[in-house]
Structure 1
Amino acid sequence: MRKITKKTLEIRGIYRKYLVHYLIELDGAKENSTPQLSFTGNGWTCTLSQEEYFTFLQSQVPIVNVTLQAGNSEILDEIVRKFRFKTIRAGG
């Protein structure tokens, strides 16, 4: 029996619609869209929560929980690394 590995990331400051694009760029296929978005990739699955917001100064900042699952830790580590690379932001 194979053990499913899972990791949940809390992404702040990036709208869910952009996270959808990143998962598609990682070869994820959209499975459904309500209430959570689900994706399936090569050896991995992902769900995106609905957007929530917190107020910072006078701005509403989005928060999305991203839950990635894979059949083994190597696949999970690789997809998390690729996803994190797409969500890197630099201040300016």
Structure 2
Amino acid sequence: MSVERTRSYRGISVRAALGYLENVGGERVDGQDRVEGDGWSATLSSEKVSVGPSMKLTEVTVEFEGESAETLDPVIERFSQKAIRAGG
């Protein structure tokens, strides 16, 4: 049974997010904004979002997929700690 979770993070770049995913045990898929780990994968996308009348931030969306919640949720938690700390 596959489990999917989508999370969005502001103030980080796709490049940084890829690095964080590698740090939590994943390996980047060549030429793609995708990382695969043991029993899980994550696909990234980004867009500029307005934060007030004149400011825009990059928002990175990560689509996580895993074999089970027990496999996936710890990866998301470790990644989120890195991403939120970095984004300030």
State TM-score, norm by structure 2. 0.85
The CA deviation at 1:24 is: 1.0
Q: Does 1:88 align with 2:81?
A: no
**What amino acid is aligned across from residue 64 of structure 1 in structure 2?**
V
Q: Percent identity?
A: 28
Query: Which residue of the partner structure matches residue 65 of structure 1?
Result: 61
Following the alignment from structure 1 to structure 2, what is the Cα–Cα distance between the partners of residues 80 and 56? 25
Unaligned 5+ runs, structure 2? none
Moved beyond 4 Å, runs of 4+: none
Aligned match for 2:36, one of 40, 50, 61: 40
Q: CA-to-partner distance for each residue in 1:19-52, whole Å, 9 max, x for gaps?
A: 0110111121111434xx1111011111001x21
Unaligned 5+ runs, structure 1? none
**What amino acid is aligned across from residue 60 of structure 1 in structure 2?**
K
Query: Which residue of the partner structure matches residue 4 of structure 1?
Result: 2
Following the alignment from structure 1 to structure 2, what is the Cα–Cα distance between the partners of residues 56 and 8? 21
State TM-score, norm by structure 1. 0.81
> What SS is found at the alignment partner of 1:9?
strand
Richer in helix (by share): 2
